[in-house]
Amino acid sequence: MFANLLTGLRRTIRGAAAEKDPESGLNGESGMSDAALNEALRRARAVQPPPVVWLLGKTQSGKTSIIRSLTGSPDAEIGNGFQSCTRTARFYDHPADAPVVRFLDTQGLGEVDYDPAEDLAFCESQAQLIIAVVKVSDGLQGAVFDVLRAVRRRRPDWPVIVAQTCLHEVYPSGFEHVLPYPFDQSGWETRVPPNLTRALLFQRDRLGALPGNGPMVWVPVDLTLPEDDILPTDYGLDALWKAVQRASRFDLEVRLRDESDREDGQSDSFSLAAHQQIVGYAMASAAIGALPLVDLAALPALQVKMLHKLGELAGVRWDKRRVAEFSALLGPGIMAGYGLRLAGRSVIKLIPVLGQTGGAAYGAATGAGLTFALGKAARLYLDHAAQGRSVRAEDVRKIFDEALRRGRNLIKPFGQKDGS
- Select 164 or 366, whichever has its Cβ closest to other proteins: 164
Give least dist CB 120 to other proteins, A.
14
- Select 178 or 230, whichever has its Cβ closest to other proteins: 230
> Distance between terminal CA atoms of the chain?
35
Q: Count Cα atoms within 13 angstroms, Cβ side, for 56.
A: 31
Give least dist CB 118 to other proteins, A.
15
- Select 80 or 190, whichever has its Cβ closest to other proteins: 80
Give least dist CB 83 to other proteins, A.
4
Give least dist CB 77 to other proteins, A.
14
Instruction: Name the packing angle between helices 360-386 and 298-314 (round to 10°).
Output: 20
- Select 147 or 247, whichever has its Cβ closest to other proteins: 147
Give CA–CA dist 63/54, Å, rounded: 10
- Select 183 or 414, whichever has its Cβ closest to other proteins: 183
Give CA–CA dist 207/130, Å, rounded: 15
- Select 148 or 391, whichever has its Cβ closest to other proteins: 148
CA dihedral 382, 339, 366, 328 (to 10 degrees): 30
- Select 142 or 359, whichever has its Cβ closest to other proteins: 142
Give least dist CB 170 to other proteins, A.
6
Give least dist CB 84 to other proteins, A.
5
Q: Which residues bind other proteins (CB under 8 A)?
A: 58-60, 79-84, 108-114, 135, 137-140, 142-143, 166, 168-170, 173, 195, 198-199, 202, 224-225, 227-230
Give least dist CB 172 to other proteins, A.
8
| 410-282-409 Cα angle (round to 5) | 15
CB-CB contact of 126 with 54 (8 Å): yes
Q: What is the DSSP string of 123-145?
A: HHHH-SEEEEEEETT----HHHH
Give CA–CA dist 417/413, Å, rounded: 6
Give CA–CA dist 183/219, Å, rounded: 8
What does DSSP assign to residue 358?
S
